[in-house]
Copies of this chain bind each other. A is one copy, B any other.
Amino acid sequence: RKKYGSSVCAMEVVYNVTQKPYIDEEVAKLLQLKAKLGGDDGKIQFVLKTPKGTRDYNPKQMAIREKVFNTIVHCFKRHGAETIDTPVFELKETLTGKYGEDSKLIYDLKDQGGELLSLRYDLTVPFARYLAMNKITNIKRYHIAKVYRRDNPAMTRGRYREFYQCDFDIAGQYDAMIPDAECLKIVYEILSELDLGDFRIKVNDRRILDGMFAVCGVPDDKFRTICSTVDKLDKMPWEEVKKEMVNEKGLSEEAADQIGEYVSMQGGMDLAERLLQDPKMSQSKQACAGLTDVKLLFSYLQLFQITDKVVFDLSLARGLDYYTGVIYEALLTQAGVAPVVAEAQNGAPGSTEESVSVGSVAGGGRYDGLVGMFDPKGRKVPCVGVSIGIERIFSIMEQKAEACAEKIRTTEVQIMVASAQKNLLEERLRLVTELWNAGRGAVQKNPKLLSQLQHCEESGIPLVAILGEQELKDGVVKLRVVATREEVDISRGELVEEIKKRTL
Protein backbone atom coordinates (compact mmCIF):
# COMPACT_ATOMS: atom_id res chain seq x y z
CA ARG A 1 0.00 0.00 0.00
CA LYS A 2 2.84 2.37 0.81
CA LYS A 3 4.39 1.96 -2.57
CA TYR A 4 1.08 2.48 -4.32
CA GLY A 5 0.40 5.62 -2.32
CA SER A 6 3.76 7.09 -3.20
CA SER A 7 3.45 6.45 -6.89
CA VAL A 8 0.02 8.06 -7.02
CA CYS A 9 1.57 11.06 -5.36
CA ALA A 10 4.48 11.26 -7.77
CA MET A 11 2.13 11.05 -10.72
CA GLU A 12 -0.21 13.70 -9.53
CA VAL A 13 2.23 16.35 -8.31
CA VAL A 14 2.60 17.99 -11.70
CA TYR A 15 1.13 21.31 -10.86
CA ASN A 16 1.20 24.79 -12.17
CA VAL A 17 2.73 26.96 -9.46
CA THR A 18 0.42 29.84 -10.27
CA GLN A 19 -2.64 27.89 -9.18
CA LYS A 20 -3.19 28.34 -5.48
CA PRO A 21 -6.23 26.03 -5.21
CA TYR A 22 -4.30 23.33 -6.98
CA ILE A 23 -1.39 23.64 -4.57
CA ASP A 24 -3.77 23.50 -1.59
CA GLU A 25 -5.18 20.35 -2.99
CA GLU A 26 -1.76 18.76 -3.37
CA VAL A 27 -0.87 19.71 0.19
CA ALA A 28 -4.07 18.02 1.36
CA LYS A 29 -3.10 14.92 -0.63
CA LEU A 30 0.35 14.84 0.94
CA LEU A 31 -1.16 15.19 4.40
CA GLN A 32 -3.40 12.25 3.61
CA LEU A 33 -0.44 10.20 2.50
CA LYS A 34 1.36 11.15 5.70
CA ALA A 35 -1.66 9.98 7.70
CA LYS A 36 -1.69 6.77 5.70
CA LEU A 37 1.93 6.10 6.58
CA GLY A 38 0.77 5.98 10.14
CA GLY A 39 1.74 7.34 13.54
CA ASP A 40 4.79 6.55 15.63
CA ASP A 41 3.85 2.89 15.69
CA GLY A 42 4.33 2.75 11.91
CA LYS A 43 0.83 1.25 11.52
CA ILE A 44 -0.76 1.97 8.16
CA GLN A 45 -4.02 3.78 8.64
CA PHE A 46 -7.17 4.53 6.74
CA VAL A 47 -7.73 7.87 5.13
CA LEU A 48 -10.92 8.82 6.91
CA LYS A 49 -12.82 11.07 4.52
CA THR A 50 -15.61 11.24 1.98
CA PRO A 51 -14.61 11.33 -1.70
CA LYS A 52 -13.48 14.68 -3.07
CA GLY A 53 -16.38 17.01 -3.81
CA THR A 54 -18.82 15.08 -1.61
CA ARG A 55 -19.95 15.42 1.98
CA ASP A 56 -22.04 13.84 4.68
CA TYR A 57 -25.14 15.54 6.05
CA ASN A 58 -25.45 15.51 9.82
CA PRO A 59 -28.89 15.44 11.51
CA LYS A 60 -29.17 19.26 11.78
CA GLN A 61 -28.26 19.68 8.12
CA MET A 62 -30.77 16.98 7.25
CA ALA A 63 -33.50 18.81 9.15
CA ILE A 64 -32.79 21.99 7.17
CA ARG A 65 -32.55 20.04 3.91
CA GLU A 66 -35.92 18.42 4.56
CA LYS A 67 -37.48 21.80 5.27
CA VAL A 68 -36.21 23.17 1.95
CA PHE A 69 -37.35 20.05 0.08
CA ASN A 70 -40.79 20.24 1.66
CA THR A 71 -41.27 23.81 0.46
CA ILE A 72 -40.14 22.89 -3.04
CA VAL A 73 -42.15 19.66 -3.28
CA HIS A 74 -45.23 21.37 -1.93
CA CYS A 75 -44.99 23.98 -4.68
CA PHE A 76 -44.44 21.35 -7.40
CA LYS A 77 -47.47 19.44 -6.12
CA ARG A 78 -49.62 22.58 -6.02
CA HIS A 79 -48.97 22.85 -9.73
CA GLY A 80 -50.20 19.34 -10.33
CA ALA A 81 -46.88 17.54 -10.76
CA GLU A 82 -46.40 13.82 -10.17
CA THR A 83 -43.02 12.40 -9.26
CA ILE A 84 -40.91 9.64 -10.82
CA ASP A 85 -37.54 8.11 -10.03
CA THR A 86 -34.82 6.77 -12.31
CA PRO A 87 -31.64 4.81 -11.55
CA VAL A 88 -28.54 6.72 -10.42
CA PHE A 89 -26.68 5.33 -13.44
CA GLU A 90 -27.69 5.05 -17.09
CA LEU A 91 -26.26 3.20 -20.05
CA LYS A 92 -23.25 5.26 -21.10
CA GLU A 93 -24.69 5.74 -24.59
CA THR A 94 -27.86 7.28 -23.12
CA LEU A 95 -25.78 10.25 -21.96
CA THR A 96 -23.52 10.43 -25.02
CA GLY A 97 -23.93 13.49 -27.20
CA LYS A 98 -26.27 15.39 -24.89
CA TYR A 99 -23.98 17.73 -22.96
CA GLY A 100 -21.53 19.14 -25.50
CA GLU A 101 -18.18 20.00 -23.94
CA ASP A 102 -19.42 19.11 -20.46
CA SER A 103 -19.45 15.42 -21.41
CA LYS A 104 -15.92 15.11 -20.09
CA LEU A 105 -17.33 15.68 -16.60
CA ILE A 106 -19.45 12.52 -16.65
CA TYR A 107 -18.50 9.82 -14.12
CA ASP A 108 -18.13 6.42 -15.76
CA LEU A 109 -18.39 3.13 -13.91
CA LYS A 110 -15.60 0.63 -14.23
CA ASP A 111 -16.11 -2.02 -16.91
CA GLN A 112 -16.59 -5.08 -14.70
CA GLY A 113 -18.24 -7.03 -17.51
CA GLY A 114 -21.67 -6.38 -18.99
CA GLU A 115 -23.05 -2.95 -19.82
CA LEU A 116 -21.05 0.27 -19.85
CA LEU A 117 -22.60 2.64 -17.32
CA SER A 118 -22.30 6.29 -16.28
CA LEU A 119 -23.65 8.22 -13.30
CA ARG A 120 -26.42 10.62 -14.29
CA TYR A 121 -25.19 14.15 -15.04
CA ASP A 122 -28.59 15.77 -14.68
CA LEU A 123 -32.23 14.69 -14.38
CA THR A 124 -33.32 16.03 -17.76
CA VAL A 125 -31.72 13.41 -20.00
CA PRO A 126 -32.99 10.48 -17.85
CA PHE A 127 -36.45 12.12 -17.98
CA ALA A 128 -36.33 12.28 -21.78
CA ARG A 129 -35.16 8.65 -21.88
CA TYR A 130 -38.07 7.71 -19.55
CA LEU A 131 -40.61 9.49 -21.78
CA ALA A 132 -39.33 7.85 -24.97
CA MET A 133 -39.05 4.40 -23.37
CA ASN A 134 -42.61 4.51 -22.01
CA LYS A 135 -44.05 6.39 -25.00
CA ILE A 136 -45.38 9.13 -22.71
CA THR A 137 -46.34 12.28 -24.59
CA ASN A 138 -47.90 14.27 -21.78
CA ILE A 139 -46.83 14.60 -18.14
CA LYS A 140 -46.04 17.18 -15.49
CA ARG A 141 -43.40 15.60 -13.32
CA TYR A 142 -40.95 16.55 -10.61
CA HIS A 143 -37.84 14.68 -9.64
CA ILE A 144 -35.57 15.45 -6.71
CA ALA A 145 -32.35 13.47 -6.75
CA LYS A 146 -28.58 13.61 -6.71
CA VAL A 147 -26.58 14.14 -9.89
CA TYR A 148 -22.86 13.72 -10.47
CA ARG A 149 -20.26 15.91 -12.17
CA ARG A 150 -16.52 15.23 -12.16
CA ASP A 151 -15.71 18.86 -12.26
CA ASN A 152 -12.35 20.54 -12.69
CA PRO A 153 -10.79 20.72 -9.21
CA ALA A 154 -9.36 24.17 -9.97
CA MET A 155 -12.88 25.60 -9.96
CA THR A 156 -13.55 25.21 -6.26
CA ARG A 157 -16.46 27.54 -5.55
CA GLY A 158 -18.56 25.79 -2.96
CA ARG A 159 -20.00 23.44 -5.51
CA TYR A 160 -20.06 19.70 -5.18
CA ARG A 161 -19.39 16.69 -7.34
CA GLU A 162 -22.48 15.02 -5.85
CA PHE A 163 -25.36 17.44 -5.49
CA TYR A 164 -29.12 17.61 -5.54
CA GLN A 165 -31.26 18.91 -8.33
CA CYS A 166 -34.97 19.61 -7.94
CA ASP A 167 -36.48 19.41 -11.38
CA PHE A 168 -39.95 20.30 -12.59
CA ASP A 169 -40.80 19.67 -16.23
CA ILE A 170 -43.88 19.84 -18.42
CA ALA A 171 -43.92 17.54 -21.43
CA GLY A 172 -46.59 17.68 -24.10
CA GLN A 173 -48.43 19.87 -26.57
CA TYR A 174 -49.80 23.05 -24.98
CA ASP A 175 -50.76 26.49 -26.13
CA ALA A 176 -47.52 28.39 -26.75
CA MET A 177 -45.74 29.76 -23.67
CA ILE A 178 -48.31 28.54 -21.11
CA PRO A 179 -46.07 25.82 -19.60
CA ASP A 180 -43.01 28.07 -20.02
CA ALA A 181 -44.74 30.78 -17.97
CA GLU A 182 -45.75 28.23 -15.33
CA CYS A 183 -42.11 27.18 -14.84
CA LEU A 184 -41.22 30.82 -14.12
CA LYS A 185 -44.17 31.12 -11.74
CA ILE A 186 -42.83 28.09 -9.88
CA VAL A 187 -39.34 29.57 -9.53
CA TYR A 188 -40.93 32.79 -8.28
CA GLU A 189 -43.08 30.98 -5.72
CA ILE A 190 -40.25 28.83 -4.40
CA LEU A 191 -37.69 31.63 -4.07
CA SER A 192 -40.30 33.83 -2.38
CA GLU A 193 -41.35 31.14 0.07
CA LEU A 194 -37.81 30.18 1.01
CA ASP A 195 -37.28 33.84 1.92
CA LEU A 196 -33.74 34.10 0.53
CA GLY A 197 -33.86 37.85 -0.09
CA ASP A 198 -34.45 39.61 -3.36
CA PHE A 199 -34.00 37.78 -6.64
CA ARG A 200 -34.16 38.29 -10.37
CA ILE A 201 -35.21 35.86 -13.11
CA LYS A 202 -33.48 36.46 -16.44
CA VAL A 203 -35.24 35.29 -19.58
CA ASN A 204 -33.97 34.91 -23.13
CA ASP A 205 -34.57 32.57 -26.08
CA ARG A 206 -32.11 30.43 -28.02
CA ARG A 207 -33.75 31.53 -31.25
CA ILE A 208 -33.19 35.19 -30.40
CA LEU A 209 -29.53 34.48 -29.65
CA ASP A 210 -29.06 32.56 -32.90
CA GLY A 211 -30.95 35.21 -34.88
CA MET A 212 -28.85 37.91 -33.27
CA PHE A 213 -25.62 36.10 -34.17
CA ALA A 214 -26.86 35.69 -37.75
CA VAL A 215 -27.76 39.37 -38.26
CA CYS A 216 -24.50 40.47 -36.60
CA GLY A 217 -22.55 38.45 -39.16
CA VAL A 218 -21.34 35.54 -37.01
CA PRO A 219 -20.64 32.54 -39.27
CA ASP A 220 -23.05 29.62 -38.65
CA ASP A 221 -20.33 27.30 -37.38
CA LYS A 222 -19.33 29.80 -34.71
CA PHE A 223 -22.77 30.22 -33.09
CA ARG A 224 -22.09 27.77 -30.24
CA THR A 225 -18.63 28.98 -29.38
CA ILE A 226 -19.61 32.65 -29.50
CA CYS A 227 -22.61 31.75 -27.37
CA SER A 228 -20.23 30.26 -24.75
CA THR A 229 -18.32 33.53 -24.71
CA VAL A 230 -21.49 35.60 -24.29
CA ASP A 231 -22.29 33.25 -21.39
CA LYS A 232 -19.32 34.74 -19.51
CA LEU A 233 -20.80 38.23 -19.40
CA ASP A 234 -21.80 38.06 -15.75
CA LYS A 235 -18.31 37.03 -14.74
CA MET A 236 -16.25 39.43 -16.86
CA PRO A 237 -16.74 42.92 -18.30
CA TRP A 238 -17.76 43.41 -21.92
CA GLU A 239 -14.27 44.50 -22.95
CA GLU A 240 -12.80 41.12 -22.02
CA VAL A 241 -15.64 39.21 -23.59
CA LYS A 242 -15.11 41.16 -26.78
CA LYS A 243 -11.38 40.44 -26.68
CA GLU A 244 -12.09 36.71 -26.43
CA MET A 245 -14.50 36.92 -29.38
CA VAL A 246 -12.10 38.81 -31.59
CA ASN A 247 -8.68 37.47 -30.54
CA GLU A 248 -9.45 33.89 -29.58
CA LYS A 249 -12.49 33.07 -31.66
CA GLY A 250 -11.57 35.13 -34.72
CA LEU A 251 -14.74 37.22 -34.94
CA SER A 252 -14.58 40.53 -36.75
CA GLU A 253 -14.46 43.60 -34.53
CA GLU A 254 -17.54 44.96 -36.25
CA ALA A 255 -19.62 41.85 -35.55
CA ALA A 256 -18.45 41.84 -31.95
CA ASP A 257 -19.48 45.47 -31.48
CA GLN A 258 -22.92 44.76 -32.90
CA ILE A 259 -23.34 41.84 -30.49
CA GLY A 260 -22.15 44.11 -27.71
CA GLU A 261 -24.95 46.54 -28.39
CA TYR A 262 -27.63 43.86 -28.26
CA VAL A 263 -26.39 41.97 -25.18
CA SER A 264 -26.43 45.13 -23.09
CA MET A 265 -30.21 45.30 -23.54
CA GLN A 266 -32.54 44.46 -20.69
CA GLY A 267 -36.25 45.03 -20.34
CA GLY A 268 -39.67 43.48 -20.46
CA MET A 269 -42.37 43.09 -23.06
CA ASP A 270 -41.52 46.57 -24.36
CA LEU A 271 -38.00 45.46 -25.29
CA ALA A 272 -39.39 42.48 -27.21
CA GLU A 273 -41.70 44.85 -29.07
CA ARG A 274 -38.89 47.28 -29.84
CA LEU A 275 -36.64 44.52 -31.16
CA LEU A 276 -39.42 43.22 -33.39
CA GLN A 277 -39.23 46.68 -35.06
CA ASP A 278 -35.43 46.70 -35.07
CA PRO A 279 -34.35 46.95 -38.75
CA LYS A 280 -31.56 44.42 -38.32
CA MET A 281 -33.01 41.97 -35.81
CA SER A 282 -36.33 41.77 -37.66
CA GLN A 283 -34.49 40.34 -40.67
CA SER A 284 -34.06 37.05 -38.82
CA LYS A 285 -37.14 34.81 -38.91
CA GLN A 286 -35.76 32.88 -35.95
CA ALA A 287 -35.27 35.99 -33.86
CA CYS A 288 -38.80 37.19 -34.70
CA ALA A 289 -40.29 33.85 -33.64
CA GLY A 290 -38.38 34.09 -30.36
CA LEU A 291 -39.34 37.71 -29.79
CA THR A 292 -43.02 37.04 -30.49
CA ASP A 293 -42.93 34.20 -27.96
CA VAL A 294 -41.17 36.36 -25.36
CA LYS A 295 -43.95 38.95 -25.82
CA LEU A 296 -46.59 36.27 -25.30
CA LEU A 297 -44.66 34.91 -22.33
CA PHE A 298 -44.68 38.31 -20.64
CA SER A 299 -48.44 38.63 -21.14
CA TYR A 300 -48.86 35.40 -19.15
CA LEU A 301 -46.33 36.50 -16.54
CA GLN A 302 -48.56 39.54 -16.01
CA LEU A 303 -51.55 37.29 -15.36
CA PHE A 304 -49.37 35.23 -13.00
CA GLN A 305 -48.38 38.48 -11.23
CA ILE A 306 -44.63 37.92 -11.39
CA THR A 307 -43.31 40.54 -13.84
CA ASP A 308 -41.71 42.49 -10.99
CA LYS A 309 -38.80 40.01 -10.84
CA VAL A 310 -38.52 38.86 -14.45
CA VAL A 311 -36.15 40.55 -16.90
CA PHE A 312 -35.79 39.91 -20.61
CA ASP A 313 -31.98 39.92 -20.85
CA LEU A 314 -30.22 39.40 -24.18
CA SER A 315 -26.96 38.46 -22.51
CA LEU A 316 -28.37 35.27 -20.99
CA ALA A 317 -26.98 32.26 -22.86
CA ARG A 318 -27.10 28.97 -20.95
CA GLY A 319 -24.47 26.36 -21.77
CA LEU A 320 -26.29 23.11 -22.46
CA ASP A 321 -26.74 21.94 -26.01
CA TYR A 322 -30.30 20.70 -25.79
CA TYR A 323 -32.21 23.98 -25.33
CA THR A 324 -34.29 25.03 -28.33
CA GLY A 325 -36.43 27.98 -27.18
CA VAL A 326 -36.97 30.01 -24.03
CA ILE A 327 -34.14 29.85 -21.48
CA TYR A 328 -34.03 31.33 -18.00
CA GLU A 329 -31.96 31.60 -14.90
CA ALA A 330 -32.74 32.88 -11.40
CA LEU A 331 -30.22 34.81 -9.33
CA LEU A 332 -30.22 35.95 -5.74
CA THR A 333 -29.42 39.65 -5.67
CA GLN A 334 -29.47 40.38 -1.97
CA ALA A 335 -26.22 42.02 -0.92
CA GLY A 336 -25.94 40.25 2.45
CA VAL A 337 -25.65 36.79 0.99
CA ALA A 338 -22.17 35.41 1.61
CA PRO A 339 -20.62 33.43 -1.21
CA VAL A 340 -20.43 29.72 -0.56
CA VAL A 341 -16.87 28.70 0.20
CA ALA A 342 -15.58 25.24 -0.58
CA GLU A 343 -14.94 22.98 2.37
CA ALA A 344 -11.21 22.67 2.74
CA GLN A 345 -11.23 19.00 3.48
CA ASN A 346 -13.09 17.75 0.48
CA GLY A 347 -12.43 20.32 -2.16
CA ALA A 348 -15.80 20.94 -3.78
CA PRO A 349 -15.56 21.71 -7.41
CA GLY A 350 -18.40 23.21 -9.36
CA SER A 351 -20.15 22.73 -12.62
CA THR A 352 -19.17 24.76 -15.62
CA GLU A 353 -22.73 24.90 -16.81
CA GLU A 354 -24.10 26.32 -13.61
CA SER A 355 -21.25 28.42 -12.34
CA VAL A 356 -22.37 31.18 -14.70
CA SER A 357 -23.00 33.34 -11.70
CA VAL A 358 -22.26 32.87 -8.02
CA GLY A 359 -25.82 33.86 -7.23
CA SER A 360 -27.51 31.50 -9.68
CA VAL A 361 -29.96 29.17 -7.94
CA ALA A 362 -32.24 27.94 -10.72
CA GLY A 363 -32.22 27.57 -14.43
CA GLY A 364 -33.93 25.88 -17.28
CA GLY A 365 -35.59 26.26 -20.60
CA ARG A 366 -37.35 24.60 -23.48
CA TYR A 367 -35.88 21.48 -25.09
CA ASP A 368 -38.18 20.26 -27.84
CA GLY A 369 -35.67 17.95 -29.52
CA LEU A 370 -34.33 15.81 -26.66
CA VAL A 371 -37.04 13.13 -26.41
CA GLY A 372 -36.87 12.65 -30.19
CA MET A 373 -33.18 11.74 -29.84
CA PHE A 374 -34.31 8.65 -27.90
CA ASP A 375 -37.34 7.69 -29.94
CA PRO A 376 -36.63 5.01 -32.55
CA LYS A 377 -38.77 6.94 -35.04
CA GLY A 378 -37.55 10.34 -33.88
CA ARG A 379 -41.00 11.40 -32.64
CA LYS A 380 -40.66 14.66 -30.76
CA VAL A 381 -42.25 15.56 -27.43
CA PRO A 382 -42.06 19.28 -26.64
CA CYS A 383 -40.69 19.87 -23.14
CA VAL A 384 -39.92 22.78 -20.88
CA GLY A 385 -38.53 22.60 -17.38
CA VAL A 386 -36.66 24.16 -14.53
CA SER A 387 -34.00 22.89 -12.20
CA ILE A 388 -33.58 24.32 -8.70
CA GLY A 389 -30.01 24.03 -7.43
CA ILE A 390 -30.41 23.18 -3.82
CA GLU A 391 -26.83 23.29 -2.50
CA ARG A 392 -26.49 27.05 -2.53
CA ILE A 393 -29.99 27.59 -1.14
CA PHE A 394 -29.27 25.00 1.48
CA SER A 395 -26.09 26.69 2.65
CA ILE A 396 -27.83 30.05 2.88
CA MET A 397 -30.57 28.45 5.01
CA GLU A 398 -27.88 26.85 7.15
CA GLN A 399 -26.17 30.20 7.71
CA LYS A 400 -29.50 31.79 8.59
CA ALA A 401 -30.34 29.03 11.08
CA GLU A 402 -26.98 29.49 12.76
CA ALA A 403 -27.25 33.27 12.79
CA CYS A 404 -30.60 33.35 14.55
CA ALA A 405 -29.59 30.51 16.91
CA GLU A 406 -32.83 28.82 16.02
CA LYS A 407 -33.28 25.44 17.71
CA ILE A 408 -33.63 22.83 14.99
CA ARG A 409 -35.40 19.66 16.09
CA THR A 410 -33.75 16.58 14.64
CA THR A 411 -36.11 14.01 16.21
CA GLU A 412 -39.84 13.75 16.82
CA VAL A 413 -39.63 12.61 20.42
CA GLN A 414 -42.60 13.96 22.36
CA ILE A 415 -41.84 12.47 25.71
CA MET A 416 -38.81 11.32 27.65
CA VAL A 417 -39.40 8.60 30.21
CA ALA A 418 -36.91 9.03 33.03
CA SER A 419 -36.55 7.75 36.55
CA ALA A 420 -34.83 8.81 39.69
CA GLN A 421 -33.73 5.27 40.55
CA LYS A 422 -31.84 2.90 38.29
CA ASN A 423 -33.82 -0.18 39.23
CA LEU A 424 -36.94 1.19 37.61
CA LEU A 425 -35.81 0.05 34.15
CA GLU A 426 -38.74 -2.37 33.80
CA GLU A 427 -41.23 0.36 34.64
CA ARG A 428 -39.60 2.67 32.10
CA LEU A 429 -39.71 0.02 29.38
CA ARG A 430 -43.38 -0.74 30.12
CA LEU A 431 -44.30 2.90 29.80
CA VAL A 432 -42.39 3.57 26.54
CA THR A 433 -43.99 0.44 25.08
CA GLU A 434 -47.44 1.82 25.88
CA LEU A 435 -46.48 5.15 24.34
CA TRP A 436 -45.01 3.60 21.17
CA ASN A 437 -48.09 1.42 20.82
CA ALA A 438 -50.19 4.58 21.09
CA GLY A 439 -48.17 6.07 18.21
CA ARG A 440 -46.27 8.58 20.32
CA GLY A 441 -42.59 9.43 20.03
CA ALA A 442 -40.88 8.32 23.23
CA VAL A 443 -37.43 7.46 24.56
CA GLN A 444 -36.32 6.14 27.91
CA LYS A 445 -33.06 7.03 29.52
CA ASN A 446 -30.91 6.06 32.48
CA PRO A 447 -31.54 7.92 35.70
CA LYS A 448 -29.32 10.94 35.57
CA LEU A 449 -32.37 13.09 35.94
CA LEU A 450 -30.76 16.50 35.80
CA SER A 451 -28.79 15.85 32.62
CA GLN A 452 -31.88 14.27 31.04
CA LEU A 453 -33.93 17.38 31.76
CA GLN A 454 -31.19 19.54 30.29
CA HIS A 455 -31.10 17.32 27.18
CA CYS A 456 -34.87 17.81 26.79
CA GLU A 457 -34.51 21.57 26.96
CA GLU A 458 -31.71 21.60 24.40
CA SER A 459 -33.29 19.24 21.92
CA GLY A 460 -36.87 20.45 22.26
CA ILE A 461 -38.53 17.37 23.79
CA PRO A 462 -41.67 18.91 25.30
CA LEU A 463 -42.62 16.42 28.06
CA VAL A 464 -40.90 14.26 30.68
CA ALA A 465 -42.54 11.44 32.63
CA ILE A 466 -40.59 10.89 35.83
CA LEU A 467 -40.92 7.56 37.61
CA GLY A 468 -39.93 7.29 41.28
CA GLU A 469 -40.20 4.67 44.04
CA GLN A 470 -42.59 6.77 46.12
CA GLU A 471 -44.73 7.72 43.13
CA LEU A 472 -44.96 4.09 42.04
CA LYS A 473 -46.22 3.16 45.52
CA ASP A 474 -48.79 5.93 45.27
CA GLY A 475 -49.76 4.72 41.78
CA VAL A 476 -48.79 8.01 40.11
CA VAL A 477 -46.20 9.37 37.69
CA LYS A 478 -44.82 12.91 37.67
CA LEU A 479 -45.42 14.63 34.32
CA ARG A 480 -43.19 17.62 33.66
CA VAL A 481 -43.69 20.26 30.99
CA VAL A 482 -40.17 21.12 29.89
CA ALA A 483 -40.87 24.68 28.70
CA THR A 484 -42.63 25.84 31.88
CA ARG A 485 -40.97 23.39 34.30
CA GLU A 486 -44.39 22.81 35.79
CA GLU A 487 -44.93 19.32 37.24
CA VAL A 488 -48.11 17.43 37.98
CA ASP A 489 -48.79 13.95 39.42
CA ILE A 490 -50.95 11.79 37.18
CA SER A 491 -52.42 8.42 38.01
CA ARG A 492 -50.46 5.66 36.23
CA GLY A 493 -53.65 4.24 34.74
CA GLU A 494 -54.58 7.53 33.09
CA LEU A 495 -51.07 8.54 32.12
CA VAL A 496 -51.02 7.39 28.49
CA GLU A 497 -54.42 8.96 27.78
CA GLU A 498 -53.22 12.23 29.35
CA ILE A 499 -50.04 12.20 27.26
CA LYS A 500 -52.02 11.42 24.11
CA LYS A 501 -54.17 14.46 24.82
CA ARG A 502 -51.12 16.68 25.31
CA THR A 503 -49.31 15.48 22.15
CA LEU A 504 -51.96 15.53 19.47
A39, A111, A115, A446, most chain B CB atoms within 10 A? A115
- What are the residues of chain B within 8 A of A169 when measuring CB–CB? none
Chain A, interface residues (CB within 8 Å), range: 35 or more
- Count of chain copies: 2
Binds B, one of A41-49, A221-229, A253-261, A380-388: A41-49
Which B-chain residue is minimally distant from A82 (CB atoms)?
Answer: B59
| Complex Cα gap A132–B373 (Å) | 47
Report how far A93 CA is from B47 CA in the complex, Å.
Answer: 8
Q: Pick the contact of A110 from B110, B162, B300, B441 — CB < 8 Å? A: B110
* A1-33 Cβ-contact flags toward B at 8 Å (1 or 0): 000000000001000000000000000000000
Instruction: Assess the B90–A443 pair: CB atoms within 8 A.
Output: no
Q: If A87-B56, A437-B305 touch, does A376 touch B48 (CB 8 Å cutoff)? A: yes
| Contact A129–B91 (Cβ < 8 Å) | no
Pick the residue among B78, B91, B436, B437 that contacts A442 (CB under 8 A): B78
| Assembled-state Cα–Cα distance A114/B373 (Å) | 33
CA distance A352 to B54 in the complex (A): 29
- Alpha-carbon distance between A45 and B132 when the two chains are bound, in angstroms: 13
Does A404 lie at the interface of the complex (its beta carbon under 8 Å from any beta carbon of B)? no
Query: What separation, in Å, do the CA atoms of A49 and B55 have in the docked complex?
Result: 31
Q: A149-201: which have CB < 8 Å to B?
A: 150, 153, 162, 175, 178, 185, 189
Within the assembled complex, what's the spacing in Å between the Cα atoms of A425 and B296? Answer: 13
Contacts of A451 in B (CB 8 A): none
Q: Considering the complex, which residues of chain A in the window 428-452 have a beta carbon less than 8 Å from any beta carbon of chain B?
A: 429-430, 433, 436-437, 439-443, 446
Please tell me which one of the listed residues B88, B93, B130 contacts residue A146 in the complex, with CB atoms under 8 A apart. Answer: B88
- What is the distance, in angstroms, from A119's C-beta to the closest C-beta of chain B? 8
Chain B residues with Cβ below 8 Å from A339 are: none
Q: What are 22 residue pairs bridging A and B, where the CB atoms are less than 8 Å apart in the complex?
A: A47-B91, A48-B129, A48-B374, A52-B114, A56-B85, A56-B130, A58-B134, A65-B85, A77-B412, A78-B412, A78-B440, A78-B442, A79-B436, A79-B442, A80-B413, A80-B442, A88-B148, A108-B110, A109-B110, A109-B119, A112-B150, A303-B426
Residues of chain A touching chain B, judged by Cβ–Cβ distance below 8 Å, are 12, 35, 39, 45-52, 54-59, 62, 65, 77-91, 93-94, 107-112, 114-115, 117, 119, 129-130, 132-134, 141, 146, 148, 150, 153, 162, 175, 178, 185, 189, 300, 303-305, 373-374, 376, 410-413, 425-426, 429-430, 433, 436-437, 439-443, 446
